[in-house]
Every structure is written in C-alpha cells, then in structure tokens.
Amino acid sequence: MAKTSSSTRHLFITGGVVSSLGKGITAASLAFLLKRRGYRVSMQKLDPYLNVDPGTMSPYQHGEVYVTDDGTETDLDLGHYERFAEVECSHSSNFTSGRIYRNVIDRERRGDYLGQTIQVIPHVTEEIKASIRQLDQPDVDIAITEIGGTVGDIESQPFLEAIRQFRYESGAHRALVIHLTLVPYIRAAGEMKTKPSQQSVGILREIGIIPDMLICRCEREMEEEHFRKLALFCNVPRHLVFAEQDVANTIYEVPVELSRQKLDKHVLELLDCRPGSLRIDDWKEMIKRLLNPSGGEIEIALVGKYTSLRDAYKSIYEALDHGGAAHDRRVKVRPVEAEELTDLEQASELLKGCAGILIPGGFGDRGIEGKIIAAQYAREKLVPFLGICLGMQCAVIEFARHVCDLPQAHSDEFSNATPDPVISLMADQKQYTDKGGTMRLGAYPCELADQSLARTAYNQAEISERHRHRYEFNNHYRQLMSDRGMLFSGLSPDKQLVEIIEISSNPWFVACQFHPEFKSRPLQAHPLFKDFIAAAMKEHKRNA
C-alpha cells in the first residue's frame, strides 16, 4: 500500500442533499480554527465541472471569479479561504474536472502512458490524488480539500473514488472525511427531517466512504433526538455530529459557533494532533464591530449589472464590510442596476442619499453608459468614488468626454469606431485568440505618487495588487488628461501602465485598474476600502 510520505494530514469536506450549503465557509471556518490552534493549514477546492477554470463562466452561473496572487482564476470559495484563514491560495488550490482531464489527455498525447488504455480509474483518479498531494508540503500540517458539487452527481464520482483511495492509502489518523448535509424543517409536518442526510451518507457508503464527522446545516435548532438518529443511521459517533445553524448576521460567526461545539478539537483528536489553545478574541471583537457598530450606518451605491446577485460581487461586499468595521460603521449596500441610469437626473434619483459610489469590474457593454453616468455624477457632485477595473475605465471615459472635450471617447472593448479610444487593448493581449486564462492576471507591483490619496491610504510607496483585465489606459491621452486635472497616482514600475487615477479637485475620487477587494481581510480592511468609507462618512455628515 502506497503511504503518503509527508507529515501533512488531510481533511476532505464533501456535501450532500443540496448545493449551496456553504461548504466553502465551513471549510474556511475550520481552517481558521486550526490555524488559531497553532497548525499550519493549506486549502484547495476540487470542482467537478468540465470548464478548465471558472474564468470563462458567467457570474450568473458561478458568481465572482476570485483571482490569486499567482494569477489563477478560481472559485469564489477561495476568497473565503483567504479571508477567514489567511491561507495563501495559488494554482494548487483549485482543480476542476476539466483541468484534471486535460492533464491526463496531454500526458496521453505525450506518450507518458504508452501501451495503456486510459481510464477514469486509475488514470483520472491518480491525477486527482496527485493534485491533492500538491498540498503535501513540509510547511503544511493540515491540508483541507473541499469537494465541490453534491454527493450523487455524476461528475463527482471520480473525486469521491479518489478520496476513498487516498484515505485507504493514507492510513489511520492521516485523512478524514467530513460530510456537510442539510437537515430541513418541513413546515407542513412541523418537524425537522434527518432522512435526506441518511440517504446522502448512504450514497457515500455505497462508494466505500463512511464519513468521520457530520455537519448538519439547519434553519432551526436540532434536538438531541436528531443527533442520535443521525449518529445511529449514519455510523458516526454522536459526539461527531455537529449542527451548523444559519447565522443571522454575519458569516464570520460560523467558526465561533463551530468551536463552541468543539469541532476543531475533535478534528485534531481524530488526526492524533494535540489541540493547543484557541485564541480568537480579536475575531470576536471584529464580529461585535460588524454587528453593533457604535457609529451607525452609511449607504454605498454599487452600480453594476448583476445587482440581484450578491455572489457576483462577493469580495466587494466583504471588503465594504471590512472597511466599515474598521471605522465602527455598518455599510449598507444599495445595488443600482447600471442600465437604469439613463441620464444625470435619473442618477440623482437613484443615487440620492448614498455617501459613496462604487463601480465594480465587469465585461461587455451592457450597462456601460449607466456606469459612465454614475462616474459623472460622482465627479460633478463631489461624492466619494471608488472605481475598480472596468469602474476605472468608465471614470476615464467619462473624464475624457466631459472634461477633455472628447465627446466620443470610449474603450476599444465597446466601440471600434471611436476616434478616441482612451481605453485600449493591452499590447501583449493582441497575440491571444483563446479566451481562457489569457488576461493580464495576478499580482503586479505598482508605484504610488507622493501626495496622492492612494499614497495616503496605503502609507507606502510601492504596493502589489491583483489584476484581471485585457484593456488599459491609453497613454496617448495621458498628457491631456493630466493637464485637465486627472492625477495618475499609481503606475507600473516602468511607468508604462496606469494602475490608479484620481481627480485631484474632488474630495475622494480614486479608481484602480486592479482588484483591491481580493486582498481585503476582516481583521485588516483594504486601505482603499478603508479610506473610501472614511470619505463616505464625511459625505454622510455633509448631507445630514
């Protein structure tokens, strides 16, 4: 039997009954608790769908695409991993069936398997296990692998088979399976039902996996009878069945609730690791500030095109919360559908009372004119403004049209007839015809101008931020815009790429080509979000 040679122990999190149970938040919460007990934790997500990565998927299908420092386009759950547990994610942190199959097929073409018939078992399952073993590192004590999808899905089968083998090969105390399931409340019967969970564990058992622990998502409090029933029918000791009841206010309460039930302690016990002591006072303090901010509430307009879909802007919502908590304020987001902003009058109607305006990243021309109007409104009415990626590009187009007398200014992305492409395709993008994984992705350095809002916010001269775009500021217009009052406060070290712009005559108008939201953490709000909220607080006072 091939035993894993490293000392890394593995935890697998599977999900049953339905999707959207919050496996990512549960995995991230557990990672947070284990880290706070002194263990070095690494995380990854295995997604059963066939896309090679989520980079080409619509936010309607998949929510936000989270980008790591090394430029991997990943599932939004990795955002939870980085925010909760401050683990650093990379290309080893997200594998899809598409990526796994591509690797296998590439190898087959190379001749690595000469003579063999390539099959799901063993070739695909070996590739999955090799992906999991990428987390076996000398500096990783515990690796947590979340399996996307729901037990019973056709696409999940090779992943579950790979875990079964992995556990068998790992030996005692080295790999655990935690199954997250749903215990629904059936209103008509007035009862909570354990049967769906029993059946889901039944499916796992059919493929040879008996979970070590059960975590049950539930709307209402589970009673002792439910715990006992689940233990008995699922073959899991009673003390290893946990409830994860919906938290009313913030997802950051989940680890606190799970640790109250000693989930982390039991995990460490099963892994034959000493529990260490848990220190989470700062985290609890942060939750308190989020839930009961002493400074009241301010409202920020988020002008986007997936306004009914929080997941599409997941990291932005989180970063706004962090920025608010840093100032003891609650941030209320007013989602504004960009397409509804048809003129300035409409804008003043829909944006009235907002203490700040944020335009997030995006692709495609739907709603673009509305976003440009929102940027104009912010500039003219002196409302604090934060533009992100496409949000920066809209602010540049607006400034060109209305301040620099270039009424037809646009981005190459949306108009190939514009005489003034103030935003244009990046030079090194011209070589690509494929859409997947070809944008300017990941962390790049950026130098900040003295005496700029950005320099004040970061309080340092050089920063590193994550990117995901194909278009950029067109340097041909730099002098003109600078003459008319636009400050280019963040540039790439060779000064060729505009990374941050500001409008000096406004109290706080900052827009960046990168995505600051990916690096904001609950205990460490991102500097731009923190200062944006500070500016919004002043605006709120001005309006009061």
Please say whether the beta carbons of 401 and 334 come within 8 A: no
Residue 521, SS3 per DSSP: strand
> What are the start-end ranges of the E strands in 172-223?
175-182, 185-186, 191-192, 213-218
What single DSSP character describes residue 118?
P
**Per rule CB under 6 A, is residue 389 in the interface with ligand GLN?**
yes
Of the ranges 27-35, 302-310, 462-470, 482-490, which one interacts with ligand GLN (CB under 6 A)? 462-470
Residue 422 CB, shortest distance to ligand GLN, in Å, is 13
Active site annotation includes 234: no
Active site annotation includes 517: yes
Catalytically annotated residue among 179, 515, 526, 540: 515
Residue 48 vs 362, nearer CB to ligand GLN: 362
Of the ranges 42-50, 151-159, 465-473, 492-500, which one interacts with ligand GLN (CB under 6 A)? 465-473
Strands 191-192 and 185-186: antiparallel
Please say whether the beta carbons of 390 and 360 come within 8 A: yes
Q: Where are the alpha helices (DSSP H) in 185-293?
A: 195-206, 224-234, 254-260, 263-270, 281-291
Closest by CA position to 150, among listed 122, 177, 179: 179
Residue 413 vs 531, nearer CB to ligand GLN: 413
# of chain residues touching ligand GLN (CB under 6 A) = 10
Among 469, 526, 530, 540, binds ligand GLN (CB under 6 A): 469
Binding mask 403-422 toward ligand GLN (x if CB under 6 A, else -) reads: ----------x---------
Instruction: Please identify which residue in the block is written with the tokens 């990379």.
Output: 90
Residue 56 CB, shortest distance to ligand GLN, in Å, is 13
Measure the N-to-C terminal CA separation of the chain; round to a whole number of Å.
71
Residue 46 vs 512, nearer CB to ligand GLN: 512
Residue 303 CB, shortest distance to ligand GLN, in Å, is 13
Calpha distance 241→257 (Å, rounded)? 14
**Per rule CB under 6 A, is residue 305 in the interface with ligand GLN?**
no
**Per rule CB under 6 A, is residue 470 in the interface with ligand GLN?**
yes
**165 half-sphere exposure, CB direction, 13 A CA radius:** 20
**Per rule CB under 6 A, is residue 362 in the interface with ligand GLN?**
yes
**Per rule CB under 6 A, is residue 390 in the interface with ligand GLN?**
yes
**Per rule CB under 6 A, is residue 71 in the interface with ligand GLN?**
no
Calpha distance 428→38 (Å, rounded)? 44
**Per rule CB under 6 A, is residue 63 in the interface with ligand GLN?**
no
Residues that bind ligand GLN (CB under 6 A): 361-363, 389-390, 413, 468-471
**Would you name the residues annotated as active-site residues?**
389, 515, 517
